[in-house]
Structure 1
Amino acid sequence: MRGHAVTEGRFRHRGAELAYEDAGEGPLVVHAHGGFVSRAVEDRMGLFDWTPVLDSGLRLVRYDARAHGRSTGDPVDTDYTYPSLADDLLGLLGHLGATRPAGAVGASMGCGTVLHAAVRAPGRFSRLVLLVPPTAWATRGAYARTCRASADAVERDGADAWIAARLGRPGPAVVADVPAFPPTPPERVLPSVLRGLAASDLPAPAALAALRRPALILAWADDPGHPLSTAEALADALPEADLHVSRTRADVGTWGRRIAEYLDPTRPRPAS
Structure 2
Amino acid sequence: MQSFTHDGFELTFLDRQPASGEGDPVLMIHGFASSHYVNWVSPGWFKTLNDAGYRAIAFDNRGHGSSSKSYEEADYTPVKMASDAAALLGHLGIGRAHVMGYSMGARIAAFMALSDPDKVATLVFGGLGIGMVDGVGDWDPIAAALLADDPAATSPV
Same fold (TM over 0.5): yes
What amino acid sits opposite 2:122 in the alignment? R
Q: 1:146 to 1:186 in 2, by over 3 A?
A: closer
- Mapped pair 1:107 → 2:102: yes
Instruction: Give the drift of 1:115.
Output: 0.8
Instruction: State which of 45, 61, 70 in structure 2 corresponds to 1:65.
Output: 61
Change (3 A) 1:82 1:135: farther
| Mapping 1:87-236, distance limit 5 Å | 87-99=83-95, 101-136=96-131, 138=134, 144=138, 147=141, 151=144, 187-188=148-149
Cα distance, 1:24–1:84 mapped onto 2, change above 3 Å:
same
In 2, are the aligned partners of 1:109 and 1:134 still within 8 Å (CA)? no
CA distance in 2, matches of 1:89, 1:80: 13
Change (3 A) 1:120 1:68: same
5 Å-filtered alignment, 1:26-45, equals: 26-42=23-39
Larger radius of gyration: 1
Length, aligned pairs only: 146
SS in 1 for 2:61: coil
Please give the TM-score of this superposition, normalised by the length of structure 2: 0.79
Change (3 A) 1:108 1:47: same
After superposition, the C-alpha distances for 1:171-219 in whole angstroms (9 at most, x for unaligned) are xxxxxxxxxxxxxx57338xxxxxxxxxxxxxxxxxxxxxxxxxxxxxx
CA contact (8 A) 2:71 2:147 kept: no
| Aligned-partner SS, 1:61 | strand
Query: Are residue 82 (structure 1) and residue 82 (structure 2) matched?
Result: no
Deviations 1:7-59 (A, max 9, x none): x2100011110000112231111110001111233368x54533321121110
Q: Give 1:96 deviation, angstroms.
A: 0.6
Structure 2 CA distance for partners of 1:32 and 1:90, relative to 1, 3 Å: same
What is the one-letter code of the residue matched to 1:63? F
Query: Among 10, 16, 34, which residue is 1:23 paired with?
Result: 16
Gaps of 5+ in 2: 151-157
More strand by share: 2
Indicate whether 1:12 and 2:5 are aligned. yes
Tell me if structure 2 keeps the 8 A contact 1:16–1:72: yes
1:68 partner SS: coil
| SS of aligned partner of 2:45 | coil
CA distance in 1, matches of 2:26, 2:139: 34
Normalised TM-score (structure 1): 0.48
